[in-house]
Structure 1
Amino acid sequence: MQLKTKFIIMIALITCCSYGVTFYRTSNFQEDLVVQQATRQAKMLFDQIKLTRQWVADHNGLFLVKEPGVEPNPFLPNAQIQDDEGNWLVKRNPAMVTRELSAYAAEKGMGQFNVTSLNPMNPKNVPDDFERVSLEQFNAGMIESISIEKAENSHRLRYMAPLEVDDRCLECHAVQGYKIGDIRGGMSVSIPIDWAYAEIRQNNRLLLNIAIATIIIVSLAIYFLFDLLVAKRLKLLARQMDSYPQKLPNGPNLDNLKDEIGSLNSNFHKLCDRLEQSQQELDKTREQVFQSEKQAALGRLVAGISHEINNPLGGMQNCIQTMKRSMDKPDLMERYMKLLGQGVERIKGTVQQLLNIGRKEPLEQIEGNVDEMLRDCLELTCVGRRNIELDMQLGIGRPLLVGMEALRQVVINLAGNAVQAMGETGGKLQVISNIIDQQLVISISDNGPGIAEGHLDKIFEPFFTTKEVGEGTGLGLSVSYSLIEQMDGELTAGNNSDGGAVFTISVPLQNKLETE
């Protein structure tokens, strides 16, 4: 998953969580606000009804003309009276006025209100569950009761407060044993609030739509801004990194940036400059080490070759002295002249081999006879070591286009190490060459003491050596490993099952000419 995708997902999740909390808190706040407003409305209506009741009580009730539907209250004394004109008037006390006003309000959808008590005189004033619980709480000292009820998919707020007995109430309730200050009951007010919940749902839908639109807009904006300001610049910087070191980074589009990516680009350029400088120094040092090791190898060879040259020189000197004494013997002169020619050819061949070793630079691809190069290197390495049994199984048999001089240096180093490992007692040096799966494979093994297990992973490290001080620099195998690696090959070391060390060189043959 791309970084910008992860970034957008995280921003979207954070935004969703933030809007979720906001949405939840806003919804609860709206509901609390609706309850508070409805409660204030219910209290106002309660106070209005209470004032109306007081007005009716102050005027000793209301008297209405008796007619169908306007019947006297059987629970009131003096429930009806007759005026001077003979009309019957029906009395309405505060409770009845309250009940009839509630019926009118219910028809208009404005709410309901009811006066009740735990011991009502009129069965119509029997309290419901909310009212009964509230009345019991009033007796315990509570001053008001509020509740939200839901019935048949409609919501209403129930508010109830106690009604205390005063001197105006004793006219009707004295017979019930009430005294001034007693709580004779309470009045409940019901306010429909479905409209409020409808508005809450509408507001919630609006908030949800705004949240979704905001999340989409913010995510798209962040996506494109991230792609423009970060992703594209990082891709450009990544392309520069991928092209290095084949192509030096230039980054013209990033050099003028003053932000973190510009700083990263600048630091990358500085790093590339340091790497280029270090690579130049490393190449220079490697060349110096290569030449030093090559000279050291040549020195070791010269020590053995001097014996090879001295032998024919001694024989040639004896021939010359004999010829001086036998100038009158043509047959003898002809014989010794032939021996002198053989000695000169032998010395010339030895010197030519030395010149072949030191005349070319490493890694130069030339076409040559690898088997012949191996044969020359091994003969030179074993010069003066008559106790070395040389077993050469050279199976290439045709010219190859390879880094001939680098291979020559590596073979001399490995063969020289094998000869030194076998010591004065000598032993068997075996060299096998072949082509396997388009790979030039050369194996050099001896029957010496082998390589200690603890040294196998260190022998190719620079300056690591098991030889005495002054006998080795610890660079031979390191240089050899580096040369083979530069040819995209592999140099490995191990031990034979029957004793001795074995080094295997594997170099790929890359073009058609090499594998035909």
Structure 2
Amino acid sequence: MAAGAVAIVLVAIFLHYFLVESEKRHMVEQEEQTAKTLATAMKLPFTQILLFEESEIVSEAGLLDLYVSRMVGSVDLHIDYAMVFDPEGRILSHSDLTLFNRKLDDPLSRKALSADGIVLSHIGDPFDGGVIDVATPLNVSSKRFGTLRFGYSLAGLADRLLQLKRKTLALTVSAAAGMILLVFAASMVMTRPIRRLVGALDSVRLGKLEPIPLPERHDELGDLQNSYRMMVNRLAQEKTERERTRELLARTEKMATVGTLAAGIAHEINSPLTGSMHSVHALASGTLPAEKRDRYLQVLGEGLERIRRAVSQLLDYSTVHVTNMVHCDLSGLVTKTLEFLEYQITRNRIEVENRLPPLVVRADAHKVEQVLVNLVLNAVAAMPRGGRLAFRHFEEGPFLTLVVSDTGEGIPEGNLEKIFEPFFTTKGDGKGTGLGLAVCRKIIEQHGGKISVSSRPGEGTEFLVSLPFAAVPGRDHER
């Protein structure tokens, strides 16, 4: 619509300009023709006067001045000046009496004297008070008696041009307005079905996969509407198939998870259970010496403890416990955990570096201690020949991130994405259930935080635990 309106306006401007210029040329040509007609009409009486004078049939006796003064004084002839030359260019009569008997030598005078027919010359702008200088020879056959020259006024052309411009402008504006209204009406008729189709497509974008009823058409828009219906039906079918596939994948994933849990817990329980049953059978014989009986009792107790620990960690992973959120000092929890595991740390000759200031977080202190115990025990297991265990922190937006790093054996790159999965462990048989880090991730996610790991084999491992800051009034977050 906008392009059509602009095109119509440009065409209207062009047509207005073309019509005005064409009419201007036509008006000037009409005036030139009038001037020629006037020159032809005035040639005969002036020639007769000069002929009679030369033949001495009658004396001129001021007839030239009379005719010149009547030409200039006539309102209908629109003549500004008039003059008669003799063959040598001397003025025999002029509307300006002061120029009588003078000889003019300007270009127009020379052109008029040398012409064999009517000569027209424009002086000034035809539409701004210009004049047509007209010259015609006064002759009979080849005998030339003089030259008539006069100025035909074009003063009326300016008013006629103004009226023409007004009429042409009114015509072009009316035509342009009519065309714009016609384009607007046609575009409204043409775009109405397009807008309906666009609205139907928008409903698809918003998730509505039911075809919106549209009027039947048998043109290009009808083809588009049919394509729209086919698209919506196909999308609806694909959505149904997608939901069916998603449900199938969900069931498959659940079965795979159940299978993984069952296999893991079966492995963790079966090995100590087998040893415990063997110890029970041996003890039941009653023939064992005291030393072996004590050994079998120890094996029985260790096996039952492994079973209890595996079941406990499995319950921690699979059960949603109530989280008791309180304000607690994270650095204090780290210190308490290090004191609790001091024996394992000292026995493995591990140096501890704790650079944590008092850090207040809102968390379940018991669950955070459980996470810290798992992380410290993993670090101790990764440094059997000693090393350094470090604690530091940094703040990132509303989160406080605890960094627990060790200088142990590290984790292969292929295992970094697996260590948080249930029952995945890199420890030897009987040394881990593979649930510790899975439980840690679940606890941290319950707190609205996240846990991640980075490691290089032979260089150590670094765990990052991010927890939300506690909303303590007046606390200044230093970066």
Distance, in Å, in 1 between the alignment partners of 2:386 and 2:250 is 30
Corresponding position: 1:121 with 2:99 = no
Structural mapping, 1:41-56, within 5 Å:
41-54=34-47, 56=49
Q: How many residues get paired?
A: 378
Cα-to-partner distance string for 1:107-151 (whole Å, 9 max, x where unaligned): 3465466233342134636699x9943232346668522316469
Distance, in Å, in 2 between the alignment partners of 1:293 and 1:236 is 43
One-letter identity of the residue aligned with 1:145: L
- Judge which range, 283-292 or 222-231, deviates more: 283-292
One-letter identity of the residue aligned with 2:281: I
Q: CA offset at residue 450 of structure 1?
A: 7.5
Percent identity, aligned pairs only, is 11
Distance, in Å, in 1 between the alignment partners of 2:233 and 2:22 is 60
3-state DSSP of counterpart to 1:205: helix
Q: CA offset at residue 184 of structure 1?
A: 3.7
**Alignment-derived partner of residue 241 in structure 1:** 202
3-state DSSP of counterpart to 1:251: coil
Q: CA offset at residue 25 of structure 1?
A: 1.3
Distance, in Å, in 1 between the alignment partners of 2:386 and 2:228 is 58
Cα-to-partner distance string for 1:265-324 (whole Å, 9 max, x where unaligned): 834851773486178348727954994697389559846862553123212321133224
Among 10, 14, 24, the residue aligned to 2:17: 24
**Alignment-derived partner of residue 172 in structure 2:** 211
One-letter identity of the residue aligned with 2:165: N
Cα-to-partner distance string for 1:53-96 (whole Å, 9 max, x where unaligned): 345566x37xxxxxxxxxxxxx997976xxxxxxxxx8455x34
3-state DSSP of counterpart to 1:252: coil
**Counterpart contact for 1:162–1:183, Cα < 8 Å:** no
Distance, in Å, in 2 between the alignment partners of 1:496 and 1:223 is 69
Q: CA offset at residue 44 of structure 1?
A: 1.2
3-state DSSP of counterpart to 1:44: helix
**Counterpart contact for 2:90–2:101, Cα < 8 Å:** no
**Alignment-derived partner of residue 473 in structure 1:** none
Among 68, 87, 99, the residue aligned to 1:99: 68
**Counterpart contact for 1:442–1:504, Cα < 8 Å:** yes
**Counterpart contact for 2:50–2:145, Cα < 8 Å:** no
Distance, in Å, in 1 between the alignment partners of 2:57 and 2:132 is 34
Q: CA offset at residue 163 of structure 1?
A: 0.6
**Counterpart contact for 1:492–1:505, Cα < 8 Å:** yes
Among 29, 32, 46, the residue aligned to 1:36: 29
**Alignment-derived partner of residue 120 in structure 2:** 145
**Counterpart contact for 1:116–1:126, Cα < 8 Å:** no
Q: CA offset at residue 51 of structure 1?
A: 2.9
1:122–1:215: structure 2 CA closer, same or farther, 3 Å change rule?
A: closer
One-letter identity of the residue aligned with 1:35: V
1:427–1:56: structure 2 CA closer, same or farther, 3 Å change rule?
A: farther
Distance, in Å, in 1 between the alignment partners of 2:65 and 2:221 is 82
Distance, in Å, in 2 between the alignment partners of 1:225 and 1:426 is 87
**Alignment-derived partner of residue 170 in structure 1:** none
1:181–1:296: structure 2 CA closer, same or farther, 3 Å change rule?
A: farther
Distance, in Å, in 2 between the alignment partners of 1:209 and 1:502 is 84
Distance, in Å, in 2 between the alignment partners of 1:229 and 1:131 is 73
**Alignment-derived partner of residue 136 in structure 2:** 162
Q: CA offset at residue 235 of structure 1?
A: 7.0
Structural mapping, 1:52-451, within 5 Å:
52-54=45-47, 56=49, 60=52, 91=61, 93=63, 95-96=64-65, 98-105=67-74, 107-108=75-76, 110-111=78-79, 114-117=82-85, 118-122=89-93, 124=97, 132-138=106-112, 144-147=119-122, 149=124, 155=129, 157-163=131-137, 165-166=139-140, 180=142, 184-192=146-154, 194=156, 196-223=157-184, 225-227=186-188, 229-230=190-191, 233-234=194-195, 237-238=198-199, 240-241=201-202, 244=205, 246-253=207-214, 256=217, 258-260=219-221, 263=224, 266-267=227-228, 270=231, 273-274=234-235, 277=238, 280-281=241-242, 284=245, 288=249, 291=252, 295=256, 299=260, 302=263, 306-325=267-286, 347=307, 350=310, 396-397=363-364
Distance, in Å, in 2 between the alignment partners of 1:346 and 1:14 is 88
Q: CA offset at residue 27 of structure 1?
A: 0.9
Q: CA offset at residue 20 of structure 1?
A: 1.6
1:260–1:110: structure 2 CA closer, same or farther, 3 Å change rule?
A: same
Among 9, 12, 30, the residue aligned to 2:5: 12
3-state DSSP of counterpart to 2:161: helix
One-letter identity of the residue aligned with 2:279: N
Cα-to-partner distance string for 1:126-184 (whole Å, 9 max, x where unaligned): 699x9943232346668522316469x963541413315447xxxxxxxxxxxx55584
Distance, in Å, in 2 between the alignment partners of 1:506 and 1:241 is 42
Distance, in Å, in 1 between the alignment partners of 2:387 and 2:101 is 121
Q: What root-mean-square deviation, in Å, do the aligned CA atoms of Structure 1 and Structure 2 show? A: 6.3
Cα-to-partner distance string for 1:20-65 (whole Å, 9 max, x where unaligned): 221111111111000111111111111111133345566x37xxxx
Structure 1 residue runs without a partner (length 5+): 1-6, 62-74, 81-89, 168-179, 360-365, 372-386, 399-414, 431-435, 461-488, 508-516
- Scaled by the length of structure 1, the TM-score of the pair is 0.51
Structure 2 residue runs without a partner (length 5+): 325-347, 351-360, 366-374, 391-395, 419-447, 469-479
**Counterpart contact for 2:389–2:404, Cα < 8 Å:** yes
- Scaled by the length of structure 2, the TM-score of the pair is 0.55
Distance, in Å, in 2 between the alignment partners of 1:164 and 1:185 is 5
**Counterpart contact for 2:15–2:172, Cα < 8 Å:** no
